[in-house]
Amino acid sequence: MVKKTIAIVGAGPAALLAASFIDPAKFDLCIYEKNRTAGRKFLVAGKGGLNLSYAEPLEELISKYTVSEFFTAALKTFSNQDLRNYLYKIGINTYVGSSNRIFPEKGIKPIEVLKAILEKVLSQGFEIKYEHAWKSWTKHGDLLFENDVIVKTDFQIFALGGASWKITGSDGNWNSIFRERGIDCHTFEASNCAYQVKWPKAFIDKHEGTPLKNIALSCGDKTIKGELMITRFGLEGAAIYGLSPEIRLALKQTGKVVLSLDLKPLFPKEKLIDKMDRSGKKITEILKRYLKLSKAQIDLIKDQTNRNEFLDPEHLAERIKDIKLEIVGKADIDEAISTVGGIDIKELNSNFELIKMPNHFCIGEMIDYDAPTGGYLLQSCFSMGAYLAQYLNEKENQ
């Protein structure tokens, strides 16, 4: 049997998982990466703890993506548990942290995870060519690289990433190349990023770098429980990252949005009022000792109450459950954990194939979708790669 040929452009997680699962008996495959090394953004992601995925039932996992139905098949084919099994087979044990996030076992560095995946790809007999920056197609539709190399293959897979942390190679510059071919590509925007709050000077001088733990943050009807970090720019952390689609929309429409911060999400208002019923005790002491509120939390409350309101349990309980935080902007795109924008999903069929360009596929963050932090970004990239590989393997059986 004459083997078909595949070129994958980009060597991030989506590309490497696709190559891991492509059947070498059926295909010759080469990955072309513009950097000197693979997976630079993957290594950046690992700096604060490499959160590979999230342990929860599949239906719940799928519901976290803005275009859930589009990812259903990929996530079912290669689920969070499949990812753990795959990593285990290549020598990377994983564990589920207290927050249900999945990480490599303690002591395993991100570079070791990347190396294990690369070894798997190379063990398939596939090649990775570095310093190959793809720049366009020739008039015959072959891949043309900046070093004038031309590559002709049966299938082209693009896994070029989003547009944040450009230093890692994912610069989004390919958007215009696809647009020239009539593919609808959306302008990139920051997601899962820091959001701007104009803190009072006295407050931020005192509380910059302080976490707000066990809180819930709401934007309209959507509420996320978790943690926030107070920064001079504003707020960071999983609780606000997860509200990115809603905040982005509101900022576009009106330039600002007011979020509601609940400092005691597990306590209904009535329970808070009961807790404050300690005659003789100062209210600040009650907040500290009995409600376990931090200094930063108490200052946030003080900032939004006058003296009479602060001393009135009913009003105080209401404020504890609803601190108003006005968001007036977001961080620069290059600082974001992920981006939205890129290839419109309407351009792709259910196998990630460009409808206008058969045998050309797009996978990973280069597709326009959103997902919160918590391992959902990497999981989707891994799943798209594995799913596409399975599709191509089966196609060759027919």
Ligand X SMILES: Cc1cc2nc3c(=O)[nH]c(=O)nc-3n(C[C@H](O)[C@H](O)[C@H](O)COP(=O)(O)OP(=O)(O)OC[C@H]3O[C@@H](n4cnc5c(N)ncnc54)[C@H](O)[C@@H]3O)c2cc1C
Q: Residues in the site for ligand X, rule: CB under 6 A? A: 9-15, 32-35, 40-42, 44-45, 51, 133-134, 159-161, 164-165, 169-170, 174, 337-338, 364-365, 373, 375-378, 381
* Residue placing its CB nearer to ligand X in the complex, 49 or 125: 49
The 10 Å Cβ neighbour count of residue 123 is 11
Which run of H or of E encompasses 20? helix 13-21
Q: How far is the CB of 174 from ligand X (least distance, A)?
A: 5
Which residues contact residue 96 at a Cβ distance below 8 angstroms, ignoring those fewer than 6 apart?
55, 102
Q: How far is the CB of 157 from ligand X (least distance, A)?
A: 11
* Residue placing its CB nearer to ligand X in the complex, 159 or 212: 159
Q: How far is the CB of 44 from ligand X (least distance, A)?
A: 5
The helix/strand/coil state of 194 is: coil
The 10 Å Cβ neighbour count of residue 334 is 14
* Residue placing its CB nearer to ligand X in the complex, 64 or 207: 64
Q: How far is the CB of 385 from ligand X (least distance, A)?
A: 8
Per-residue buried b or exposed e for 346-379, using 16+ beta carbons within 10 Å of the residue's own CB: ebbeeebbbeebeebbbbbbbbbbbbbbbbbbbb
Tell me the C-alpha distance between 372 and 336, whole Å. Answer: 12
Three-state secondary structure along 113-164?
HHHHHHHHHHHCCCEEECCCCEEEECCCCCEEECCCCEECCCEEEECCCCCC
Assess contact for 105 and 94: CB atoms under 8 A. Answer: yes
* Residue placing its CB nearer to ligand X in the complex, 42 or 387: 42
Q: How far is the CB of 14 from ligand X (least distance, A)?
A: 3
Q: How far is the CB of 85 from ligand X (least distance, A)?
A: 18
Q: How far is the CB of 346 from ligand X (least distance, A)?
A: 19
Which residues contact residue 148 at a Cβ distance below 8 angstroms, ignoring those fewer than 6 apart?
none
* Residue placing its CB nearer to ligand X in the complex, 15 or 389: 15
Contacts 24+ apart (CB under 8 A), 344-352: 344/183, 344/184, 344/185, 344/186, 344/368, 345/67, 345/70, 345/369, 346/184, 347/183, 347/184, 350/70, 350/73, 351/387, 351/388, 351/391, 352/74, 352/384, 352/387, 352/388
* Residue placing its CB nearer to ligand X in the complex, 35 or 294: 35
Which residue type is seen at 308? N
* Residue placing its CB nearer to ligand X in the complex, 237 or 364: 364
Q: Nearest CA to 352 among 157, 63, 153, 174? A: 157
Whose tokens are 């070129």? That residue is: 7
The 10 Å Cβ neighbour count of residue 387 is 24
* Residue placing its CB nearer to ligand X in the complex, 6 or 45: 45
* Residue placing its CB nearer to ligand X in the complex, 167 or 328: 167
Q: How far is the CB of 293 from ligand X (least distance, A)?
A: 29
Q: How far is the CB of 178 from ligand X (least distance, A)?
A: 11
